[in-house]
Structure 1
Amino acid sequence: MMDPLGCLPRLKELFEILDAKLSEIDCAINNSADPDTDGLFDQSEYYVGIGLVAAQQYLGEVATFSRIGKDKAYKLGPRHRSGIPYAKAINSAANYWKHEAEWWEDLDRMNDSNSKTMIHVGVIADSEHYQLSNFLFALSNNKEIKLKCMIPIITEWLSALSS
């Protein structure tokens, strides 16, 4: 099942746009005496989050139209060395970005699904700080913080859907 909706080129284009912004931020980080205080890591986290939500949307649409269902579809394809399927991890990371503030506001309301989301992101990010950027860095095999590293993962996931 290679891109059944024909949307992968648009996702790639969006990743290119966001990756260009991430490159600008990376340059600023390298030229800053204190990138954390300058808010540069937060900026990077924001653009990574936008890209993760776009990937989540794509995965969700493909899973829905494949008639396999998201729960089953997100278990397919490549996996992190911890065993977590990357499709599920990308979905978790997008949810983390969208809902993290709500969860931290009231940790007592944290449900099992929210806890699993945070665990998936934390295991792959292997960091307690700037988890989405570190998550993406891990997806790129510790090479760079670029959204384009998700394209081979998504492509391999698409292949697993058709198997």
Structure 2
Amino acid sequence: MITMSVFRIGNEVVDYEIHLLERHLRLLDTELAAIHTAIALSADPDTDGLFDAGEYFIGSGFVAIQRYITSVRCSEKVAQDVALKIPPVLSNGMPFAQALHVGANYWKHVEEWFEPAFKGSALNGLAAKTLDTLEKSTPWAEYTCSNLLAQFGDSNQLLLTPLIPKIMHWRNAMMKLSP
């Protein structure tokens, strides 16, 4: 178990976990690149399940990034509501970390929202808050994670490793808040 994912030695940031995250995202990007190729060759990528496969790997990447964000903010003792508002900020005004956080929560919990307990009733609590926040960046009805990833950068090539510089930007900005 990693107990301190990020710390400083003088002015230098030591971040062992960012390298693990990057390796993880590269593995997911290998799958995403194969899916991009298959989509280009497919007569009907939706029916072939390619969009769903891409959504799965992107959602998994969001969860890994969320775990990293949580690890860093906890090691720096910064409250979640503060950490999620730290730059960078997307073109729609939503903080990058917050968008990733709600994307990961959406991916982890969306199936629960369609359980019989929810049928016929409006979502409430954290589920409603997650969707309200998410809908500021993308509609949640179809391929939500893919649409959200497109908001972060190049919408023609949906890959996760290009997010690493933004994640590091967030980390560095957040570390300036803690003593």
Q: Same fold (TM over 0.5)?
A: yes
SS across alignment from 1:30: helix
Inter-partner Cα distance in structure 2 for 1:113 and 1:3: 34
1:69-128 CA-to-partner distances (Å, cap 9, x unmatched) read 212111112112222111111011001001001113316262242223123333323574
Work out whether residues 5 and 62 of structure 1, in 8 Å CA contact, stay in contact via their aligned partners in 2: no
Structure 2 partner of 1:140? 153
Q: Is 1:50 the counterpart of 2:60 in the alignment?
A: yes
Query: TM-score normalized by structure 1?
Result: 0.90
SS across alignment from 1:36: coil
Higher CA-based Rg = 2
Q: Is 1:30 the counterpart of 2:40 in the alignment?
A: yes
Give the root-mean-square deviation of aligned CA atoms.
Answer: 1.9
Equivalences for residues 79-158 of structure 1 within 5 A: 79-105=89-115, 106=118, 108=121, 110-125=123-138, 128-158=141-171
1:43-90 CA-to-partner distances (Å, cap 9, x unmatched) read 000000110000000000111111112121111121122221111110
Query: TM-score normalized by structure 2?
Result: 0.83
Q: Percent identity?
A: 35
Structure 2 residue runs of 5 or longer lacking an equivalent are 1-7
Alignment match of 1:77 (pick from 63, 87, 97): 87
Work out whether residues 131 and 140 of structure 2, in 8 Å CA contact, stay in contact via their aligned partners in 1: no
- Cα 1:90–1:43 change in 2 (3 A) is same
SS across alignment from 1:7: helix
Structure whose residues are more often helix by fraction: 1
